[in-house]
């Protein structure tokens, strides 16, 4: 990039301040990238993206209030010109597929070298797709491998209903109202769902449901 060219305007969204500080230092030191804003959660990320319309939004997946996947969907719907680069510690296939289906332009792991991250931001800004080399290898290895449904314990109809509503972003209380049960009962169903799917969070459970074909990624409805 020539000195007369404008810098790439980047926004960072990660709920860990020290992580953001490290990423900001790396990107700012590149000479051609300017960090214009930082967000500590998904909703703040949306507000700051709308305010600053950065060239590239660098998002973590797991954030309070709205995940990186949800923010990516919102960006694609509201500000499609903004590039989205996912920078995360998660390399699980369901996460990768979910963010790519949501419209992310790139997916880089936090274990990447500084120059790889800087180049990823440049590539996304220039309209190229970016995928971490380690993730590419995993996806290629699993490309023709059918999903192993036998390794996952089936959910009951009620648990599938709870998972479907969780995929749509409903709170425990709202799910309870929809299904005519208490939010405490909803919490119990979610605990069973987490155990059966070996998930540690609602987002992870939903992503596993998507990967198993139980939930439609676009609508959150149960797949036929």
CATH topology of domain 8-142: Rossmann fold (3.40.50)
Task: Going residue by residue through the chain, which has 224 residues, state the pLDDT in tens, using 9 for 90 and above.
Answer: 444 468 999 999 999 999 999 999 999 999 999 999 999 999 999 999 999 999 999 999 989 999 999 999 999 999 999 999 999 887 776 777 788 778 889 899 988 899 999 999 999 999 888 887 666 655 555 544 455 555 677 889 999 999 989 888 788 899 999 999 998 999 999 999 988 887 777 777 888 887 777 886 554 444 43
Cβ atoms of residues 65 and 13 within 8 Å: no
Whether the predicted model's global pTM rises above the 0.85 cut: no
Cβ atoms of residues 35 and 27 within 8 Å: yes
Q: Which residues contact 146 (CB under 8 A, 6 or more apart)?
A: none
Rounded Cα–Cα distance for residues 58 and 26 (Å): 13
Residue 146 CB neighbour total at 10 angstroms? 6
Fill in the DSSP letter of residue 150: G
Token digits for 190?
């979610």
Helix residue ranges per DSSP H, the chain: 17-28, 42-52, 68-78, 93-102, 114-125, 133-142, 157-167, 172-179, 183-197, 202-211
Token digits for 45?
């990320």
Q: What is the residue extent of each domain of the chain?
A: 8-142, 149-211
Picking from 208, 217, 120, 119, the residue whose alpha carbon sits closest to that of residue 168 is 217
Cβ atoms of residues 134 and 194 within 8 Å: no
CATH number of 149-211: 1.10.10.10
């Amino acid at each position: 990039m020539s000195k007369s060219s404008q810098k790439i305007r980047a926004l960072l969204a990660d709920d860990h301040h020290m992580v953001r500080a490290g990423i900001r230092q790396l990107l700012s030191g590149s000479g051609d990238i300017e960090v214009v804003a930082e967000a500590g959660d998904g909703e703040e990320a949306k507000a700051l993206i709308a305010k600053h319309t950065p060239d590239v939004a660098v998002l973590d997946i797991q954030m309070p209030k709205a995940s990186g996947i949800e923010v990516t969907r919102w960006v694609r719907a509201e500000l499609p010109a903004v590039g989205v680069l996912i920078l995360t510690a998660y390399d699980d296939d369901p996460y990768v597929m979910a963010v790519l289906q949501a419209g992310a332009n790139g997916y880089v792991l936090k274990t990447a070298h500084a120059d790889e991250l800087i180049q990823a931001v440049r590539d996304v800004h220039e309209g190229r797709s970016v995928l971490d080399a380690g993730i590419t290898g995993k996806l290629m290895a699993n490309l023709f491998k059918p999903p192993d449904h036998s390794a996952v314990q089936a959910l009951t109809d009620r648990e599938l209903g709870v998972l479907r509503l969780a995929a749509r972003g409903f709170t425990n209380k709202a799910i309870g109202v929809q299904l005519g049960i208490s939010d405490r009962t909803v919490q119990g169903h979610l605990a069973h769902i987490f155990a059966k799917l070996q998930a540690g969070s609602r987002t992870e459970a939903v992503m596993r449901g998507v990967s198993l074909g139980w939930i439609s990624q676009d609508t959150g409805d149960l797949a036929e």
